[in-house]
Structure 1
Amino acid sequence: MFKNTTTNYGVVAILLHWLMAVAILFLFGLGLYMVELTYYDAWYKGSLDLHKSIGVSLFLLLVIRFAWRLFNPTPAPVDNAPSAKKLNQVAHYMHLLLYVVMLCLMLTGYFISTADGRSIDVFGLFSMPALPISIDQQEDIAGEIHFWLAWSLITFAGVHALAAFKHHFINKDRTLIRMFKVSETSSLGK
């Protein structure tokens, strides 16, 4: 139930997937909102602090997700027909691309936030320290890259969602269902 099997995702993988999806969509919306604020807007600092805290939390979830993937089987694709093997490879590389873009997006967010040498306060629980060095115009350079990575991630996530809907509505297979429902045949230790 908690762990993945060779045919289904477990509760932990499903929760990590959906927590991250919701956080990414929220951060993207908050980011769009934040860029419209001026320094004198009432929620300017609050929105930045929230964005940074959720961003660091999302990074921690990504690390947990990487670790979970290392120690759990990845369920096999639903369609193992010879004609689907190439598409399954494309899906695998798309997932890798999503992970790389997420990681780079989080790193650029860190470089923006710590460009002035200050650590990032995470919901008042702990601080993520800044690196002891920085480069000229670090905030501006990282900000430009962060902007394009954010749009790339949302685009790739949209393609990912459309592919899941295609599997559900056109192929009529279990690909999408597996990310919502733990199979009744999964057991606690499997």
Structure 2
Amino acid sequence: MAKEGNYTGPAKWLHWGMALIWLAAWVIGIVATHWRDEFNAHHELTFLHKAMASTLLFLIVARIAWRLSHPAPALPDSMSPMMKRGAYVGHLLLYAVALIGLPLSGWYWSSVADKPIMVAALFALPPLVDPDQSLYDLAKAIHTYTAWLCGALIGGHVLVALKHHFVEKDEVLKGMLPGRGN
């Protein structure tokens, strides 16, 4: 049982573990795309990017199941109803766009391009659609713009967490930190 105001241990592990995987996959994806000739000539980074990012599709199921059975701690009373609503909507956007939309758009792009996705180098995901080179540029654009939107959402999430800690001086960030009264 979590201490009041703190997330449970498994919620913290899922949050921070998925954050690390997501951030690493995001950075690797940017490097693999924008510096292909210098760092990704044989697509090793693309393989690693897909292997990491595809694991998020499975971890998100565990995370949502855990969250539904273990609600988040209540937000501080010092937050206005509008701010609490904003936090709720922000978290929904993070789940929907960063943890579901981005991996699915990458899976779609790989399917259109007839390129396999190995989940953690263990097994291949089946294609979502039949290969179709006429959709390649669209699929690439969807994944690329979704990735940049996610970067903005994650950046906003970090800034708001830091605002809670340094400006509001409440327990919101502390409740998600590892080793704090699970």
Counterpart residue number, 2:92:
96
Match of 1:148 among 145, 154, 171: 145
Q: Give the alignment of 1:98-117 within 5 angstroms.
A: 98-102=94-98, 103-117=100-114
Q: % of aligned pairs identical?
A: 33
Kindly indicate whether residue 119 of structure 2 is the aligned counterpart of residue 138 of structure 1. no
Cα distance in structure 2, aligned partners of 1:41 and 1:7: 44
Show structure 2 runs of 5+ residues with no match: none
Structure 1 residues 34 and 6: CA distance shift in structure 2, 3 A: same
Residue aligning to 2:17: 19
- After superposition, the CA RMSD in angstroms is 2.2
Using the TM superposition, give the Cα deviation of residue 26 of structure 1 relative to its aligned residue in structure 2, in angstroms. Answer: 1.1
Change (3 A) 1:22 1:76: same
Residue 134 of structure 1, CA deviation: 4.6
Q: Name the residue aligned to 1:52.
A: 50
Q: 2-side partners of 1:17 and 1:163: how far apart?
A: 16
Contact 1:117–1:132 at 8 Å: present in 2 too?
no
Contact preservation (8 Å) 1:105, 1:150: yes
Sort the Cα spacing of 1:137 and 1:5 in 2 relative to 1 into closer, same or farther, 3 A: farther
Extract unaligned runs of 5+ from structure 1.
none
TM-score for both structures, normalised by structure 2: 0.88
CA contact (8 A) 2:31 2:39 kept: no
TM superposition shift of 1:157: 0.8
Give the Cα–Cα distance (whole angstroms) in 1 for the partners of residues 40 and 150 of structure 2.
Answer: 29
Determine which structure has more spread, i.e. the larger CA radius of gyration.
Answer: 1
Please give the secondary structure, in 2, of the residue aligned with 1:114: helix
Equivalent residue number for residue 61 of structure 1? 59
From the two aligned structures, give the one with the greater helix fraction: 2
Cα separation, partners in 2 of 1:152 and 1:21, compared to 1, 3 Å: same
Over residues 90-127 of structure 1, what are the superposed CA-to-partner deviations in whole Å (9 max), with x where a residue is unaligned?
01001101111121111110011122445422243111
SS at match of 2:124: strand
Deviation track 1:115-153 (CA, whole Å, cap 9, x = no partner) reads 244542224311111135355533321110111111111
Q: Distance in 2 between matches of 1:42 and 1:96?
A: 34
What is the alpha-carbon distance in structure 2 between the residues aligned to residue 60 and residue 23 of structure 1?
Answer: 12
- AA partner of residue 93 (structure 2): L
Please give the alpha-carbon distance, in whole angstroms, between the structure 2 residues aligned to 1:31 and 1:118: 15
Residues 58-115 of structure 1, C-alpha deviations (whole Å, 9 max, x = no match): 22111211111111122110x224x612101101001101111121111110011122
- Give aligned pairs, total: 180
The Cα shift of 1:8 comes to 2.0
